[in-house]
Amino acid sequence: MAKPIRVAVTGAAGNVGYALVFRLAAGDVFGPEREIALSLVEIPPAMQALEGVAMELEDCAFPLLSSVRLASDPREGFADASWAVLVGSKPRAKGAERSALIKDNAPLFVTQGQALNNCAAQDVRVTVVGNPANLNCAIACQNAPDIPDSRFTALTRLDHNRTVAQLAARAQVGVNRVRKVAIWGNHSSTQYPCIAHAEIEGHRGWPVFQDTDWVRNVLVPQVQNRGAAIIEQRGQSSAASAAQAVIDHLRDWYRGTPDGEFVSMGLKSRGLYSTPHDVFFSFPVTIAQGEVTVVSDLSLDSYDRCMIDASAEELVKELKTARTVIG
């Protein structure tokens, strides 16, 4: 049997991390034949809770889980990791501004980027979940100069899944009938959930695609503000749905996207679609043999362009704010 895949997860005792690690151990990403070794990373005050998570993982007797390592030092946690999922960050509280998230979390991702650079496996792939995810991904990437920036991704799959679900509900079809939804930009209220190229059952002849009023005035703001709405209802940010999005993101990165489908990932911009360089921007992508490729030939109308530009402007401002915090 092949050597177990080592997967590091930060914030593993938190709500998202707790919902995620059991899915990883069950084989939901790497399949029913591939063993994994988990490295679970937490801040020192959460180590007792993390030990409880490890006990539960042991009690599940997962056949594919070869070992569990616990660490409060990211250098130890990321050692030899081929996959790193950076979930841990200070969560957004009800009514909190994103600028507060940046100040609280930017230094953490400097440290984690450095630890990845120095300790992770040469083939490491990194997914940043902790908010603000796009910015945190940029910070981690900047502090890991020896890791190709194509190996860093920010999670926007939750927004993608939310858009699929809302479109399917409006059209009264199963979510598996919906393809080619795209999330552009930042994982924030400026993101652009786009169905301009989406298909249902392989075509665009559905009335929902012509319902411009619903798309612009219901779907777009509903997806943009879904996280805040869940915090309002639960008193906490999304957990189970976020963990599912991580599973989907990692699975597609590992196995590839189905033919004729694209999904959404935050990647370092190379200027495609006139997006600003260096920010991590969500694009529609296809994946084959672990290589992520931006879908580069989509037509954009003036509304699309306006929405994409607004999110790009926010990302540039966030990066400037972070530089004042971390230098």
Q: How far is 79 from 7, CA to CA, in rounded Å? A: 10
* 187 belongs to the catalytic site: yes
Tally of residues, the chain = 327
Token match 């792939």: residue? 125
> Which of 259, 290, 260, 284 has its CA nearest to residue 30?
290
Element (H, E) at 221: helix 220-224
Q: Is the dihedral of CA 267, 271, 275, 276 positive or negative?
A: positive
* Token couple for 239: 């957990």
Among 181, 152, 153, smallest CA distance to 166 is for 181
Structure tokens at 54: 């490890």
Q: CB–CB of 285/265 below 8 Å?
A: yes
Query: From CA 121, how far away is CA 83, in angstroms rounded?
Result: 8
Please state, in angstroms and rounded to a whole number, the distance separating the CA atoms of residues 281 and 193. Answer: 13
Among 187, 203, 249, 277, the one annotated catalytic: 187
d(CA 164, CA 151): 26
Q: State whether residue 75 is helix, strand or coil.
A: helix
Residue 150 neighbours by CB under 8 Å, 6+ apart? 267, 268, 292
- Integer Cα distance of 213 and 215 in angstroms: 6
Number of H helices, E strands in the chain: 11, 13
Question: What's the CA gap between 284 and 307, in Å, rounded?
Answer: 15
Residues designated catalytic: 187
